[in-house]
């Protein structure tokens, strides 16, 4: 069970996720989290760097869908200017939103990469759905109300796995 919390890859930020590398792995679709993955949870709009990252993915023919447990207003205001499909109130880690996002992008299971900053929602959900998972370091150390409880559990899982030698990445 704990294995399901382990991402396939761990990177500092989305800017360490490069389209050419993804294409080599056969990835054609990205399902990404929003809060603390693309921007800090309390930042309304995409930064120029994020806009550029989306553009790069498009240029390499990689589709991107944003799926977030956050509410409609937040996700819509952020995603629409990027001209990218989005799912709000996604209820991650449940598989439904992940699977329907992949279906909408018309990509196969093994062609999907999930990117997110949380083990309990993004990584667990992505692994359940059978996708390639990439964990990023949260952009800021603070979280929205709902996430704080998840973080407590996450810290326990991480320290357990670190002790077991299952995690090799550096602590911030
Ligand atoms: Mg997040």
Q: How far is the CA of 37 from the centre of ligand 1 (A)?
A: 5
Model pLDDT for residues 90-149, shown as the tens digit of each residue = 999 999 999 999 999 999 999 999 999 999 999 999 999 999 999 999 999 888 877 888
Any alpha helices (H) in the chain, and if so which ranges? 19-24, 48-59, 72-79, 95-105, 124-128, 145-163
Q: How far is the CA of 163 from the centre of ligand 1 (A)?
A: 25
Query: What does the alpha-carbon distance between residue 156 and residue 66 come to, in Å, rounded to a whole number?
Result: 27
Q: How far is the CA of 133 from the centre of ligand 1 (A)?
A: 14
Out of 3.40.50.300, 3.30.460.80, 1.20.120.1780, 3.40.50.1000, the CATH code matching 2-163 is 3.40.50.1000
Q: How far is the CA of 130 from the centre of ligand 1 (A)?
A: 19
Name residues with Cβ closer than 5 Å to ligand 1, which is an ion.
Answer: 33, 35-37, 117
Confidence of residue 170 (pLDDT cuts 50, 70, 90): low
Both structure tokens of 24: 């080599």
Measured in whole angstroms, the distance separating CA 80 from the mean position of its chain's CA atoms is 18
Query: pTM for the complete prediction?
Result: 0.93
Confidence of residue 46 (pLDDT cuts 50, 70, 90): very high
Q: How far is the CA of 32 from the centre of ligand 1 (A)?
A: 9
Percent of the chain with pLDDT over 90: 79
């Amino acid at each position: 069970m704990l294995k399901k919390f382990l991402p396939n890859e761990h990177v500092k930020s989305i800017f360490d996720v490069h389209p050419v590398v993804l294409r080599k792995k056969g990835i054609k679709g990205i399902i990404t989290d929003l809060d603390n993955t693309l921007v800090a949870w309390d930042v309304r709009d995409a930064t120029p760097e994020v806009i550029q990252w989306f553009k790069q993915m498009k240029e390499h023919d990689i589709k991107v869908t944003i799926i977030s447990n956050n509410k409609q207003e937040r996700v819509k205001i952020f995603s629409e200017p990027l001209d990218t499909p989005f799912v709000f109130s996604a209820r991650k880690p449940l598989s439904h939103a992940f699977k329907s996002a992949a279906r909408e992008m018309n990509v196969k299971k093994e062609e999907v990469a999930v990117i997110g900053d949380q083990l309990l929602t993004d990584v667990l959900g992505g692994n359940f759905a059978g996708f390639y998972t990439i964990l990023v370091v949260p952009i800021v150390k603070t979280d929205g109300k709902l996430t704080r409880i998840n973080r407590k559990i996450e810290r326990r899982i991480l320290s357990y796995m670190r002790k077991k030698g299952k995690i090799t990445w550096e602590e911030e």
